[in-house]
Structure 1
């Protein structure tokens, strides 16, 4: 199973269907960002502004697995030197569209978040990684590559899924029923027959992985990061679990060697 190829194709399909996280920001949003009134998200609610330097002018930012014409163009409009990378060609086309429409300078690179060999060591001051690592099977390479391409004292802002979401049957959850079904770590293909897996792939659906909190948080620490901030978020009241727990987490981490 080539997960990267499958998820790349599936996200291209999501763009064609106009899914929420494929819709580029408006011209009005970019104009506000140019005047200093900007915000981005890596979960649902805005990332605190004090997680960023006072000025983004000239700051080299990698928007990691962040296509869709959202975070990258806003940060470019605010003055940053932005590179956006994503596995989906059509997601990156959304960033290119906003850049052309609003006269922004940003670079787009198609690629896997687990392999940033396109970029040299210490290339970036900051990485913005909205919820996306659920689409990779192994997290360790993601955190290691992020650390490698960041400068010393560089900042990683990442959003990810609380694994509690994945213990429940997704179809029942959509009906409003919380039915415990899966163990963590998990995969979208767990428990499916060979025929069901073939049908799943043919339907061009994304393959998702439920990672442990240890993989998410200790994984960053093992890659040389110090966690300096975090917050939780939810679906905005649209899923049953919102009544009980927040299913998204965002962290701010600094690349820093601790003796």
Structure 2
């Protein structure tokens, strides 16, 4: 029964399974990618396959303290570490963190990993980071207010929060019709969670994948502002693997600063 599901525990196991199934966000950065990053030629993504503009980062990444928030998988964290940053990766999935440690060991990178829920950063002191880098992952988180509040707390004054997230309108569509026939059939009210579906339908539609939650733009952007951030940049992009890409943006990304 859905009322007995612990979303943190469920999604931890689900993302561990995604690693075993070689989900594209669980495949570690290749040696040539790390070598290029060491040479100053690097990029990372917040949304889909869109590289983050370099001017979103501090002008000098060397020795910047970066928290890759819910960003395991051996991709962004190792690249930023190879580019010179002091990187910590926090993720809810032990197997995703294994990917980061795999690359760090292979490449001799001084990467720190922490297992945890993105809503609880109590393992970190106040004002310990210059950047919080949060690619699309809060879709797996039941609530956003503590994510933005904790991100604000752990950043130094002038620190940067970069966040990628899904357009909530994606969730109004019937998933089987969208994925199997590329038909956009409006079915769900917002806010939506895959937990709203009957158990048998959720299993048919999402299989063993993680629980997903839509979040309003009020929760995403308004939540950052309410936490104290100043928004500096906003971009959108089509979903890289979804039929909605022909009609609407599927992803949003924000850059915000702690005053």
TM-score bracket for the superposition, by shorter chain length:
over 0.9
Give 3-state SS (helix, strand or coil) of 1:157's partner. strand
**1:244, 1:207 → 2: CA distance?**
25
Matched, 1:176 2:209: no
Shift of the alpha carbon at 1:196?
Answer: 5.0
Q: Is 1:141 aligned with 2:165?
A: no
Which range moved further: 7-16 or 169-178? 169-178
Contact 1:129–1:158 (Cα < 8 Å) also in 2: yes
Task: With the length of structure 1 as denominator, give the TM-score of the two structures.
Answer: 0.94
Kept in 2, the 8 Å contact 1:6–1:204? The answer is no
Is 1:82 matched up with 2:87?
Answer: yes
**Gapped regions of structure 2 (runs ≥ 5):** none
Gaps of at least 5 residues in structure 1 are none
Give the alignment partner of residue 61 of structure 1, picking from 52, 57, 66. 66
Q: How many residues align?
A: 253
Please name the residue that 1:248 is paired with. Answer: 251
Alpha-carbon deviations, 1:195-230, whole Å to 9, x = none? Answer: 556x57x95321000011110000000001011001
Which residue is equivalent to 1:191?
Answer: 197
How far residue 184 of structure 1 moved from its aligned partner, in angstroms, is 1.3
1:207 counterpart (197, 203, 211): 211
Match for residue 30 of structure 1? Answer: 34
Any conservation in 1 of the 2:18–2:209 contact (CA below 8 Å)?
Answer: no
Displacement, 1:191? 3.5
Aligned mates of 1:59, 1:113 — CA distance in 2: 21
User: Would you identify which runs of 4 or more consecutive aligned residues in structure 1 move more than 3 Å?
Assistant: 194-197
1:26-62 deviations in Å (ceiling 9; x for gaps)? 1000000001001000112000001112221110000
3-state SS of paired residue (1:209): coil
Task: Normalising by structure 2, report the TM-score.
Answer: 0.94
Q: C-alpha distance in 2, partners of 1:56/1:191?
A: 44
- The Cα offsets for residues 160-199 of structure 1, whole Å up to 9 and x where unpaired, read as 001010011111111210000111111002131x5556x5
Distance 2:60 2:30 in 1: 22
The superposition leaves residues 87-134 of structure 1 with CA deviations (integer Å, 9 ceiling, x where unpaired) of: 000000000000011111110000000000110111101000000001
How many Å separate the matches in 1 of 2:69 and 2:177? 32
